[in-house]
């Protein structure tokens, strides 16, 4: 349900204040320690951030896509590692259940996901199946009583904290490609399920990805999400929605960097005047703002159309493609405008530069977004 | 026990105040307004009393323009049960506010009124004291700790040079100091729930209060600009200056 103007304004104000007072002061610490402090996680749960996209009847906030995007833009104004704590619960980890779950599955899991008691992960990628995600090899073979899962997943966000995984696995080895894949809800406690060590990454320290191994993990039929063979469709619809959230986070980070640029370019003096007086710096600043504004408009337009029930596959991909590339350019210019200070860790700019690089890769790399956009163009003829 | 919490809408505490060119007051146009921080502390304390079972209902009242409803909504999102907006577009002086609150108290019959010790806009620090006088209730101002026990409240007060503990019979008026508590963030689900809580709309006339101003603002000016500091070369020089120039050692 869409929020009325006043409630939306209060929502945004509450998130903004939380980001400014509670999260921003901890950015450097979280990066150094590679962990978000427990108390902050508890505060994020209490604030309701884990339940942004879970329907109200299951204890969440049931935000419209537009409202979720506006909240995501606010959350983008601090280290993306914070958002990653609840990002899977809001997006890829829960939406398969919201869209395809049975009433029993929803009643069983969604309230815990909304409160943050259950942390979720989405396990699609494999060592041999990245962009070509329809080619997953993890098997889920029906033995007359259970599906038996065997295989490995790679780079799974929050796997080390998750108590529930949405897993895409091949139920029909005779069907190559997406049509042979089904989706499953797999509790962390299932015998045979193990999680690897967190990977060392380029950025977003505090957020973790790990391998997940399934060694003859038995899963009852009541935990299958959607029909057999529908798993790839589940994954694609989940990712489709998530693209607007990611695009909005990119807009938020860009906005944050723009604020940093304004402050620095106004204060730092060379040749007897502030950097902001030099036209070449002004041009970089103007490009940052213009592109961030364009990305914001794209995300909000696509979100409103999605809320109205339109097909927005193309718009979601275009929005994610543009916003993720845009924030990369903004971060690059931020480093340039800060000069040496942009390269030195104390100012936090180089940290953002590293943090935003992943947005062009996960939930569909830029190249894959372009494939989707072109495919949709040919389909739609516009 | 019912707790009444008056809350005021003021310029957001993060913003820098600008004086109007004609020195008639400060410029509030297009600036973000929020709940006075001391009022937030008062709401928080009331909510804690309710969570402990010492209070049963919290009524937030604001006297101000239509937009003061937003301030009441914030209190409702923090945990107040219902609100009263006494609509007044003109600037309200502490005495007028205290008289309106006196009438609200007569209608609502709370066991306790908790309010901020002052509002950060005009720093009057008068409303709570005037209200207690009008009601002829005991008052405990500048509270840094409140304990309710039977029919009385034990309040630790922040006074110059230390702490003073007083006990007052209820009903009473208590004003909050900065260290009473750290107000919570209104959670997103509670912001949504607050939409459904009722706010009564009233006017000063409904309470028969004449809110006409009795004070006249002569002028408002900026504080003097800070003088530039001086650098010292050695610790000895610093100690010497502190002793002989500043006279603080
Ligand atoms: C921090 C992080 C978090 C992640 N979280 C999750 C998660 O929670 N769940 C999950 O399932 N996965 C997750 N992933 C995996 C992520 O989705 C994949 O890394 C991504 O889809 C790319 O797959 P790949 O790494 O195998 O790259 P590849 O598919 O090998 O691609 C390598 C390059 O080739 C390009 N390319 C590939 N195919 C084509 C083509 N047809 N045309 C043109 N170019 C092409 C790609 O765009 C890319 O530039 C995460 C990864 C990271 C790093």
**Sign, Cα dihedral of B201, B206, B209, B215:** positive
**C-alpha A158 to ligand 1 mean position (Å):** 17
Residues A244 and A223 in one domain: no
SS3 B121: coil
- Confidence band of A267 (pLDDT split at 50, 70, 90): very high
Is-contact A63 A3, C-beta < 8 A? yes
Is-contact A371 A317, C-beta < 8 A? no
Is-contact B59 B2, C-beta < 8 A? yes
Q: DSSP H helical segments within chain A, as ranges?
A: 5-18, 27-33, 38-47, 65-75, 80-90, 95-100, 103-115, 231-267, 279-307, 313-338, 340-343, 349-355, 366-380
Query: What does the block give as tokens for B8?
Result: 């005021």
Question: Which structural domains are found in chain B, ordered by start?
Answer: 2-222 (3.40.50.620)
Angle between helices A65-75 and A231-267 (to 10 degrees): 40
Residues of A with a known catalytic role: 363
**Which stretch of A106-110, A271-275, B241-245 has the lowest confidence by average pLDDT?**
B241-245
The CATH number of whichever domain residue A284 belongs to comes to 1.20.140.10
Total domains in chain A come to: 3
**Sign, Cα dihedral of A288, A291, A296, A297:** positive
**Sign, Cα dihedral of A141, A147, A152, A156:** positive
**C-alpha A241 to ligand 1 mean position (Å):** 17
Residues A94 and A143 in one domain: no
Rounded to a whole number, what is the distance in Å from the CA of A338 to chain B's nearest CA? 26
Residues A91 and A32 in one domain: yes
Give the integer Cα–Cα distance in Å for B249 and B247: 6
SS3 A163: coil
Domain edge (last residue) among A100, A115, A130: A115
SS3 A38: helix
Which pLDDT score, from 0 to 100, does residue A20 have? Answer: 94
Residues A332 and A210 in one domain: no
Q: Which residues of B touch A51 (CB under 8 A)?
A: 189
DSSP class per residue in A337-365: HHTHHHHSGGGSHHHHHHHGGGGGTSSS-
SS3 A105: helix
Inter-chain touch B188–A15, beta carbons under 8 Å: yes
Is-contact B181 B146, C-beta < 8 A? no
Domain edge (last residue) among A189, A211, A228: A228
Residues A303 and A345 in one domain: yes
Residues A287 and A176 in one domain: no
Is-contact A297 A280, C-beta < 8 A? no
* Nearest Cβ partner for A14 among B70, B185, B195: B185
**C-alpha A191 to ligand 1 mean position (Å):** 29
Q: Does A12 touch chain B (CB under 8 A)?
A: no
Is-contact B74 B32, C-beta < 8 A? no
The residues pairing with A149 across neighbouring beta strands, listed in sequence order, are A140, A217
Q: Does A42 touch chain B (CB under 8 A)?
A: no
Residues A238 and A376 in one domain: yes
Residues A213 and A262 in one domain: no
For the segment B105-157, what is each residue's pLDDT rounded down to a tens digit? 999 999 999 999 999 988 999 999 999 999 999 999 999 999 999 899 999 99
For the segment A319-352, what is each residue's pLDDT rounded down to a tens digit? 999 999 999 999 999 999 999 999 999 999 999 9
User: Of B232, B160, B224, nearest to B243 (Cα)?
Assistant: B232
Q: Does B182 touch chain A (CB under 8 A)?
A: no
Is the C-beta atom of A141 inside 6 A of ligand 1?
no
Which pLDDT score, from 0 to 100, does residue A1 have? Answer: 65
Residue A323 burial (C-beta neighbours within 10 Å; 0-12, 13-18, 19+): buried
Q: What's the Rg (C-alpha) of chain A?
A: 21
The CATH number of whichever domain residue A173 belongs to comes to 2.40.110.10
Which pLDDT score, from 0 to 100, does residue A339 have? Answer: 98
Q: Which residues of A touch B188 (CB under 8 A)?
A: 11, 14-15, 47-49, 52, 61
Domain edge (last residue) among A115, A146, A176: A115
In chain A, the residue whose alpha carbon lies closest to the alpha carbon of B72 is A10
Rounded to a whole number, what is the distance in Å from the CA of A48 to chain B's nearest CA? 5
Residues A267 and A372 in one domain: yes
Backbone angles phi, psi at A214, to 5 degrees: -120, 110
- Confidence band of A3 (pLDDT split at 50, 70, 90): confident
Whether the predicted pLDDT of A146 surpasses 90: yes
Angle between helices B68-78 and B37-51 (to 10 degrees): 30
Hey, of A2, A5, A8, A10, which one would you mutate to test binding to chain B, going by the most B CBs within 10 A of its CB? A10
Rounded-to-10 torsion of CA A344, A350, A351, A354: -140
The best mutation among A87, A90, A125 to test binding of ligand 1, ranked by most ligand atoms within 8 Å of the C-beta, falls on A125
Residues A198 and A213 in one domain: yes
Rounded to a whole number, what is the distance in Å from the CA of A3 to chain B's nearest CA? 9
Low-confidence ranges of chain B (pLDDT < 50): none
* Nearest Cβ partner for B189 among A6, A17, A61: A61
The best mutation among A90, A131, A165, A370 to test binding of ligand 1, ranked by most ligand atoms within 8 Å of the C-beta, falls on A131
How far is Cα of residue A79 from the mean position of the Cα atoms in its chain? 13
The residue segments making up the domain with residue A305 are 233-380
Is the C-beta atom of A367 inside 6 A of ligand 1?
yes
Rounded to two decimals, the ipTM of the complex is: 0.83
Q: What's the Rg (C-alpha) of chain B?
A: 21
Q: Which residues of A touch B71 (CB under 8 A)?
A: none
Q: Which residues of B touch A6 (CB under 8 A)?
A: 70, 73
* Nearest Cβ partner for A7 among B185, B187, B195: B195
SS3 A368: helix
The CATH number of whichever domain residue A36 belongs to comes to 1.10.540.10
Rounded to a whole number, what is the distance in Å from the CA of B108 to chain A's nearest CA? 28
∠ CA(B182), CA(B188), CA(B189), 5° rounding? 110
**C-alpha A152 to ligand 1 mean position (Å):** 16
Q: How many Cβ atoms sit within 10 Å of the Cβ of residue A213? A: 17
**C-alpha A364 to ligand 1 mean position (Å):** 6
Give the integer Cα–Cα distance in Å for B209 and B192: 34
Rounded-to-10 torsion of CA B59, B65, B66, B72: -30
Give the integer Cα–Cα distance in Å for A93 and B218: 62
Rounded-to-10 torsion of CA A93, A95, A100, A103: 90
Of all atoms in ligand 1, which is nearest to the CA of residue A157?
8
* Nearest Cβ partner for A14 among B70, B191, B195: B191
Inter-chain touch B185–A47, beta carbons under 8 Å: yes
Residues A104 and A124 in one domain: no
Backbone angles phi, psi at A365, to 5 degrees: -65, 160
For the segment A16-66, what is each residue's pLDDT rounded down to a tens digit? 999 999 999 999 999 999 999 999 999 999 999 999 999 999 999 999 999
Backbone angles phi, psi at B247, to 5 degrees: 65, 30
């Amino acid at each position: 349900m869409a929020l009325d103007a006043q409630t939306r304004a209060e929502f945004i104000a509450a998130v903004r204040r939380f980001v400014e007072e509670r999260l921003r002061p901890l950015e450097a610490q979280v990066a150094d320690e590679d962990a978000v402090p427990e108390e902050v996680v508890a505060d994020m749960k209490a604030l309701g951030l884990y339940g942004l996209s879970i329907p109200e009847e299951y204890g969440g906030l049931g935000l419209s896509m537009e409202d979720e995007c506006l909240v995501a833009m606010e959350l983008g104004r601090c280290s993306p590692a914070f958002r990653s704590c609840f990002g899977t619960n809001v997006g890829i980890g829960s939406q398969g259940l919201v869209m395809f779950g049975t009433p029993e599955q929803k009643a069983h899991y969604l309230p815990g996901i909304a409160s943050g008691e259950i942390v979720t992960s989405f396990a699609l990628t494999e060592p041999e199946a990245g962009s070509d995600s329809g080619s997953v090899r993890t098997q889920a073979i029906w033995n007359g009583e259970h599906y038996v899962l065997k295989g490995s997943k790679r780079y799974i966000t929050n796997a080390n904290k998750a108590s529930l995984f949405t897993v895409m696995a091949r139920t029909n080895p005779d069907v190559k490609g997406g049509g042979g894949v089904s989706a499953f809800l797999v509790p962390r406690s299932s015998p045979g399920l193990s999680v690897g060590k967190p990977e060392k990454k380029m950025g977003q320290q505090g957020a973790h990805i790990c391998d997940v191994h399934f060694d003859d993990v038995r899963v009852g039929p009541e935990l299958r999400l959607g029909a057999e063979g529908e798993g790839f469709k589940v994954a694609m619809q989940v990712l489709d929605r998530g693209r607007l959230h990611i695009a909005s986070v990119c807009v938020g980070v860009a906005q944050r960097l723009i604020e940093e640029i304004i402050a620095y370019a106004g204060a730092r003096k060379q040749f007897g005047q502030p950097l902001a007086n030099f036209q070449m710096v002004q041009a970089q600043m103007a490009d940052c703002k213009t592109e961030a504004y364009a990305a914001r408009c794209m995300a909000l337009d696509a979100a409103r159309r999605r809320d109205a029930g339109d097909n927005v596959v193309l718009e979601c991909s275009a929005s994610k493609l543009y916003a993720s590339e845009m924030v990369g350019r903004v971060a690059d210019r931020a480093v340039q405008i800060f000069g040496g200070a942009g390269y030195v860790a104390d100012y936090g700019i180089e940290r953002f530069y590293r943090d935003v690089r992943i947005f062009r890769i996960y939930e569909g790399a830029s190249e894959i977004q372009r494939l989707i956009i072109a495919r949709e163009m040919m389909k739609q003829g516009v | 026990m019912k707790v009444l919490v008056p809350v005021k809408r003021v310029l957001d505490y993060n913003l820098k105040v600008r004086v109007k060119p004609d020195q008639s007051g400060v410029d509030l146009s297009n600036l973000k307004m929020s709940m006075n921080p001391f009022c937030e502390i008062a709401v928080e304390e009331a909510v804690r009393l309710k969570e402990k079972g010492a209070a049963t209902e919290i009524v937030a009242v604001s006297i101000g323009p239509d937009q003061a409803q937003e301030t009441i909504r914030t209190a409702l999102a923090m945990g107040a049960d219902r609100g009263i907006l006494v609509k007044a577009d003109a600037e309200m002086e502490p005495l007028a506010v205290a008289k309106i609150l006196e009438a609200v108290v007569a209608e609502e019959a709370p066991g306790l009124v908790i309010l901020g010790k002052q509002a950060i806009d005009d720093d009057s620090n008068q409303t709570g004291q005037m209200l207690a006088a009008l009601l002829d209730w005991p008052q405990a101002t500048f509270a840094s700790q409140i304990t309710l026990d039977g029919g009385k409240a034990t309040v630790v007060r922040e006074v110059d040079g230390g702490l003073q503990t007083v006990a007052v019979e209820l009903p009473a008026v208590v004003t909050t100091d900065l260290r009473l508590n750290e107000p919570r963030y209104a959670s997103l689900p509670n912001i949504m729930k607050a939409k459904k809580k009722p706010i009564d709309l009233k006017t000063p006339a409904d309470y028969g209060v004449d809110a006409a101003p009795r004070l006249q603002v002569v002028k408002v000016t900026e504080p003097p600009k800070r003088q530039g500091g001086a650098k010292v070369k050695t610790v000895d020089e610093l100690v010497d200056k502190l002793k002989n120039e500043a006279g603080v050692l």
